[in-house]
Amino acid sequence: MQFARMLLVVRYCVIAKLGRHYFFHRPHKSFAIRSVPTLHLPMLTIWIALGITSATMLLSGCSSSADGDREERERLLLDSEMFAMDGDPEVVNLPPALSASGYPRTDVLPHMEAPISPGRNYVYCATMKMASEQVMGSNASGSDLAQALSRVQFTEADLDPSSYFKFFGTYDEAIKRLLERFPAAEDDLPEIVMWVGDAWFVYLEKSLPFREKFDRKDHALDFTTPAGTVKVSGFGVDQLFLSRSRDFVLSKQVTIRDFQNNDDFVLELNTLLSGDRIILAKISPEKTLLDTVTRVQSRVERGYSKSSDESRLQDGERMMVPIVSFGVLKDYFGGTASQMIKFRLDESGARLRAHVTVLALGEEGKPRQFVFNKPFLLYLVQRNSDHPYLAMWIANEEFLER
C-alpha cells in the first residue's frame, strides 16, 4: 500500500512536468496547448503506466486488507469463549472391557500384516509392540506371532512420552507408579491382570477432545454390512451453513485430505491436541491393514493443501461419522501376555486407554482379549510420525453404538 502511494506521488510529479511544458505558455500562464515533441512521448507513456500500476496496487492492497480483516475476525471468533466447551472437554464414559470372544466378526492384531477378509473387522494397537522385549525373550520368540511383532516398525519415538507408562517389576510397584502418572487409570484396575513376580507392563492413555461438540444423531445413520443395513448413532454436521457461527467453528474441526467421490474420500478430524491426528477413510481396503494404512497415508500427504477450498467443508455439505465405543481384552502365548483396549469416538472427541502385561518366563497369566470395530479405516498417529499407535479396519456394526 505504501509503495502504491509513492507511485502516485511520482505520477503527480510527471503530471506537473508535462503541465509546465505543454499546457502552459510562459510567461503569461495561458492555457494554449503546445505540441508534444516526439522526444517527450516516453514521459507520457511513463505517466500512463504509473497510473495503471498504482491503481492496481491500491486495489490489491484493499483486497489484501479485506482478507486480513476476515482472517482477524475468524481468529477472534475461534478464540471466543462462547464456543469453549462446558466443563472437562475430555471424552467420558468409556465402556467396560469384555472378552474378544463376544465379537465373532472381529480380529485383534498385535501387528498389521493379517489379510483383510470381507465383512470382518481388524484392529491393531502398538502397546503389544512396546512390550515385545519380553515376548522376544520368551519361549514364544520362535512363533509366527513373535516374528510378526519383530517386523512392526513402531518405536517409542512414535509416541508422546507423556501419554504412556512402561515398567518392569512387581504388580504392586507397577500400579503405584501408574496411578502417580495417570490417576484416571484407577477405573481400569479391575481389568489389569494381577501377576506374581516380575512382568513388563505398558499403559497408554490418549484424550483428544474437539473444541466444539459436533451434532449427535441417535439411530440416524444407515451402516451397510454384508449381512444388511443397520441403524447406528453418529455425529457430525447434517447440513453446513458457514453463515452460522457455530457451523463455522465446526467446519474448522474437519480437514478434507482427498475426495474422489462420495464413496472414496479421506478426512482428518482436528482436536485441541495438535500433536495427534485422527484420520478417517471411506475406501476399499488393500490386502492387509498395513497396506491400507500405507495407501491412505500417501493420499494424506499428496492431498489437498490445508489452505485450499477443497480441504474445507462448504455450505450445504454433510459429514456424519458413526460413534465407536468398545472395550476388549485378549491374551497371547497361552496367557503369558494380555492386552486391553478401551476406545470411544463420539461428538466430543476420542479417548483411548490400553495396557499390556507380559509375564516373565515361567509365570502364568490370566486370559484377556481386546478388539476395535469401525465401518472404515481409522488410525491415530503422532503428527511427526509415520507409524500409527492405533489403526483399525471395520466392516461390520459389532462395536458401533446403536
Ranges 19-33, 261-275, 293-307: which has the least confidence: 19-33
Q: How far is CA 368 from CA 100, 339, 351, in A?
A: 8, 6, 21
The pLDDT value given to residue 35: 45
Burial label for 79, CB within 10 Å (0-12, 13-18, 19+), is exposed
Closest listed residue to residue 372, CA positions, set 400, 349, 335:
400
Same domain, 59 and 77: no
Q: Are residues 331 and 391 in the same domain?
A: yes
* Residue 277 · residue 349 · CB < 8 Å: no
Band of residue 297 on the pLDDT scale cut at 50, 70, 90:
very high
* CATH code at position 142: 2.30.39.10
Contact 282, 264 (CB under 8 A): yes
Does residue 234 carry a pLDDT above 50? yes
User: Tens of pLDDT along 38-51?
Assistant: 445 555 555 555 55
Q: Is the pLDDT of residue 252 over 90?
A: yes
Residues facing 107 on adjacent strands: 122
Q: Say how far apart CA 159 and CA 388 lie, in whole Å.
A: 9
Residues 46, 182 share a domain? no
What is the pLDDT at residue 301?
93
Answer yes or no: do 30 and 108 share one domain: no
- Note whether 110 and 187 are same-domain residues: yes
Question: Residues 58, 167: one domain?
Answer: no
> Do both 16 and 144 map to the same domain?
no
**Euclidean distance between CA atoms 370 and 193, whole angstroms:** 13
User: What Rg value do the Cα atoms of the chain yield, rounded?
Assistant: 31
- For the segment 77-95, the average pLDDT, to the nearest whole number, is 51
Instruction: Say what the pLDDT of residue 294 is.
Output: 95
Cell numbers linked to 149: 511383532
Cell numbers found for residue 98: 469384555
User: Which pLDDT value is given to residue 40?
Assistant: 52
Range in 114-118, 192-196, 218-222 the model is least confident about: 192-196
In the chain, the number of structural domains is 2
Domain residue limits at 17: 2-64
pLDDT at residue 354, rounded to an integer: 93
- Residue 393 one-letter amino acid: W
* C-alpha to C-alpha distance for 250 and 83, rounded to whole angstroms: 10
Examine the fold and report which residue of 24, 46, 64 is the final residue of a domain before the chain moves on.
64
Single out the residue of 357, 358, 350 nearest to residue 390, CA to CA: 350
d(CA 39, CA 35): 11
**Rounded mean pLDDT of 208-232?**
89
Helices (H), 109-198: 127-130, 132-137, 144-151, 171-181
Same domain, 34 and 92: no
Kindly list the distances between the CA atom of residue 379 and the CA atoms of 215, 299, 372, in Å, as whole numbers in the listed order.
22, 14, 11
Residue 89 pLDDT greater than 50, yes or no? no
In the predicted model, what is the mean pLDDT of residues 257-265?
Answer: 88
C-alpha 235/C-alpha 353 separation (Å) is 21
Question: What are the residues whose beta carbons fall under 8 Å from the beta carbon of 45, sequence distance 6 or more?
Answer: none
User: Are 90 and 189 contained in the same domain?
Assistant: yes
Residues 174 and 278 in one domain: yes
Checking if the pLDDT of 373 tops 80, the result is: no
82 and 42 in a common domain: no
Single residue among 14, 40, 64 that ends a domain in this structure: 64
C-alpha cell at 297: 497415508
State the pairing for strand pair 228-237/215-225.
Answer: antiparallel
Q: Read off the pLDDT band of 135 (50, 70, 90).
A: low
DSSP label at residue 21: I
Asked if pLDDT for residue 146 goes beyond 70, the answer is: yes
Q: Which amino acid is at 293?
A: V
Residue 334: which pLDDT band, with cuts at 50, 70 and 90? confident
SS3 235: strand
Last residue of a domain, one of 19, 40, 64: 64
pLDDT at 167 over 80: yes
- Tell whether 164 and 254 lie within a shared domain: yes
